[in-house]
Amino acid sequence: MAVGVFDSGLGGLTVLDAVTKRLPEVPFVYFADSAHAPYGVRDADDVFDLTCTATQRLFDAGCDLVILACNTASAAALRRMQESWVPHDKRVLGVFVPLIEALTERHWGDNSPPREVAVQHVALFATPATVRSRAFQRELAFRAIGVDVEAQACGGLVDAIEEGDMILAEALVRSHVDALKRKMPDPEAAILGCTHYPLMEEIFQDALGPEVSVYSQASLVAESLADYLDRHPQMRGPGSEAGFLTTGNPKKVSDHATHFLRRKITFEGA
């Protein structure tokens, strides 16, 4: 009944933490492609190839369902994977869907025409690759009209978080928020479009101001996954062991992950 959770690095641990708390009976296998992180500076073909390789490793570990807890992979690779690569008896889901459901207040299966929603001015903070893909804007346009999205590529932020340099990370957050507000002075909502960014949510909120609603992914993904497994119980894979896999140096990644989640995490080589 194992479910896979994939990220290019450690950001997806924010999602893993939330889904583990929401579904304590489900064993999760987490895969960090740390040797190739960050994905946010790579081109779409590279992201596709790396994501397929990692996802196959999770399939091999007994996971029939894999969550791409990486916005860059969800933006640049997911649709192509679903159309041309994912086996018929497996499923790969991304992390944009729960965000868009929350923002538009409509279920993903609602295929009625796009309509106006309450929020009209949205700031999107994401990696350069996610911003280039325009995947968030494309998916949002299927469901909502009249929403102005201003995207800000947050170069350097993932690296700072992965290295545990929170002083630099805070400075980068404030710099990127300033840059966004020069383009959109009064956003009503802000999307933290990278699973690393929830660790900096308080800084984003402080820099944006209390009047801006900040949407973070981890809890939204957890609720969405619980609902999906209720509706598709057959997608609980045959694996029975939880675990942590990485393409990087297991000790270094384990040390960073332990600091990241503030509990002991032990990675094995993938």
State whether the Cα torsion 240-241-244-249 is positive or negative. Answer: negative
Region of residue 206 (left: phi > 0; alpha: psi -120 to 50; beta: else):
alpha
**Residue 72, SS3 per DSSP:** helix
Active site residue 70: yes
Alpha-carbon distances, residue 194 vs 96, 130, 161 (angstroms): 10, 9, 12
Q: Residue 12: which of 187, 191, 246, 264 has the closest Cα?
A: 246
Q: Residue 23: which of 243, 224, 188, 264 has the closest Cα?
A: 224
Q: Which residues contact 246 (CB under 8 A, 6 or more apart)?
A: 31, 32, 33, 34, 35, 253, 267, 268, 269, 270
Active site residue 194: yes
Please tell me which residue in 52, 63, 154, 194 is annotated as part of the active site. 194
- Which string of DSSP letters, residue by residue, matches 127-184? -HHHHHHTHHHHHHHTTEES-EEEEEE-TTHHHHHHTT-HHHHHHHHHHHHHHHHHH-
Residues tagged active-site: 70, 194
